[in-house]
Structure 1
């Protein structure tokens, strides 16, 4: 009769016990910090518009850049470039992607703005939009990325760290003057001095930030924006007919959850933009009998669905809540999460 094989013991009594290799003692000079998981996406911190800058040693002052807000995610698997609302625009900014790969950091999330500059060295939203092919374009842009915050670095979530520390680490990370990724400098001046200088040089304005605050998503008073010339986003709700297509655009803003008419804009259009804008509006002709906003004017208006969002510069408001001295800057991208202006009571 065949004997059943006896199970072989893992250890014999005569063999020494198995021991793991002793761990190397940690160098007490090195911090023993746990690694934080890298966020898939961080809602951006948004600045609150004020008429004048705050003052004090707890505030820093930067240029307000006129471009697209982006977050650059440097990950072990590669680089992702996300818009304000989380759309992946990596392929549309190959130069910024290259610059991120060359930073020499394993993981990081940079908050900043994609910009292009005019002949005077000022950031120009219209130039950037044109390089991307307009609102529905698929072109790539040679834009630069101006980084102004660091939200994650080499396994560590920096959001609960003071801005002063985040900015110090960010400045160390960005070194090359030739890189498509540049550091948004602060200036040793009061808020009033900084704003005056920005307006003299034809810039859009400045941003004031609390140095002792963590990074808080959403709109809050930790970041304050002050503009030399007011610029906001409005719905295009119609256009006034003319022999060349349109002579002006009718604009809308939110008020108590409804879109209301806030005036028109008839200047600022570049010749190469007019035909494309007309084509897009023709696809959105309003089909209902009543217009999309309450309107008592006498113009020959073609109403359109309030879908297209235009960036408009203006000098103030009239007593009946209409824009004064408005000028067209360009269409905002839906993916850029443009915030249509809201009229407060």
Structure 2
């Protein structure tokens, strides 16, 4: 491990205990960016939210739902050891970039997959946007502007797998317009004077070019035109302690993706549906997989309008599944 830096952030003494896990701050979806000098703007990355815990003798990579995925993000963990501090918690997003520098969730899924891929796992980058703990000091009680001041010397200018998620000096509405024109998912606005709060709140706001959320795959309809392929995926959202049907998606996957996904789903077919649904030619599956879906809006009866499939993940990180509560 690299030698720890002697530079200490402002804080209290004795040292603060390092938390074993921090529930992440989650941005609230709003229709337009907030305005004013108190707001900072960043690109909204399309990947996996991670917290990297650097401790004496070990590094842990923790998902938003609290799972230890250090092995799956081994390159990030290895580089985190070399950042020059004995202990810290970095908050950020793991992504794979396309040829235009945009985060591509499907490419990230392929890089993490068990099957051979065109994408090397070492292509996975970790864009850091917050620093929650540093060398014995819990920074969550500091305003964002102070946390960023301490973060930037650690990761700014790096060209490895760990990089800084840059703040963009621009008016919010202009930045959002440009982000959408360049095919980005959207932007994030963060209040510079707020301390770090776990959970969802208006101190972080997200403005998306299109809506995008995660839904549980509860079954499928076979393709009538292509044998061994999918016609539609059937989707569920969380409500209370269970799942409710929110519609199906039949676009966004290639024929090859469709046949591979059907093969995967045929291995988890069940006679006990996870949702209440009466429909012919439906094959229900155990609710183990989650689909990333881009869509326009919701209908009056709580169904997805104009959905498009973007990727699939295991349901291990259930915190990301859309909730109707």
TM-score normalised by structure 2 residue count: 0.88
The answer to whether the 8 Å contact 1:134/1:331 transfers is: no
CA deviation vs aligned residue, 1:79-106 (integer Å, no higher than 9, x gap):
2111112222222222212321221112
Q: Runs of 5+ in structure 2 lacking a partner?
A: 1-9
What residue in structure 1 maps to residue 47 of structure 2? Answer: 67
Q: Secondary structure at the match of 2:141?
A: coil
Q: Identify the range of structure 1 (232-241 vs 170-179) with the bigger mean alpha-carbon deviation.
A: 170-179
CA deviation vs aligned residue, 1:186-245 (integer Å, no higher than 9, x gap):
111222112111111100111111111111111112111111011011121211122233
What residue in structure 2 maps to residue 15 of structure 1? Answer: none
User: Which residue, out of 124, 131, 144, partners 1:163?
Assistant: 144
CA deviation vs aligned residue, 1:153-205 (integer Å, no higher than 9, x gap):
11111010111100111011114432211111111122211211111110011
| 1:258 shift after superposition | 4.2
Q: Secondary structure at the match of 2:17?
A: coil
Q: Identify the range of structure 1 (222-231 vs 331-340) with the bigger mean alpha-carbon deviation.
A: 331-340
TM-score normalised by structure 1 residue count: 0.83
What residue in structure 2 maps to residue 21 of structure 1? Answer: none
What residue in structure 2 maps to residue 38 of structure 1? Answer: 18
Q: Are positions 1:293 and 2:275 aligned together?
A: yes
What residue in structure 1 maps to residue 236 of structure 2? Answer: 252
What residue in structure 1 maps to residue 28 of structure 2? Answer: 48
User: Which residue, out of 315, 318, 334, partners 2:296?
Assistant: 315
| 1:32 shift after superposition | 7.9
Distance 2:305 2:14 in 1: 55
| 1:69 shift after superposition | 0.7
CA deviation vs aligned residue, 1:237-268 (integer Å, no higher than 9, x gap):
21112223321111122345542222111111
The alignment covers a number of residue pairs equal to 310
What residue in structure 2 maps to residue 328 of structure 1? Answer: 309
Q: Secondary structure at the match of 1:335?
A: coil
Q: Secondary structure at the match of 2:35?
A: coil
User: Which residue, out of 180, 187, 210, partners 1:199?
Assistant: 180
**Rg: which structure is higher?**
1
Distance 1:99 1:256 in 2: 40
| 1:53 shift after superposition | 1.8
Give 1:122-161 correspondences, 5 Å limit: 122-133=102-113, 141-142=121-122, 143-161=124-142
Q: Secondary structure at the match of 2:50?
A: strand
| 1:31 shift after superposition | 8.9
Q: Secondary structure at the match of 1:159?
A: helix
Distance 1:268 1:338 in 2: 24
Give 1:38-117 correspondences, 5 Å limit: 38-117=18-97
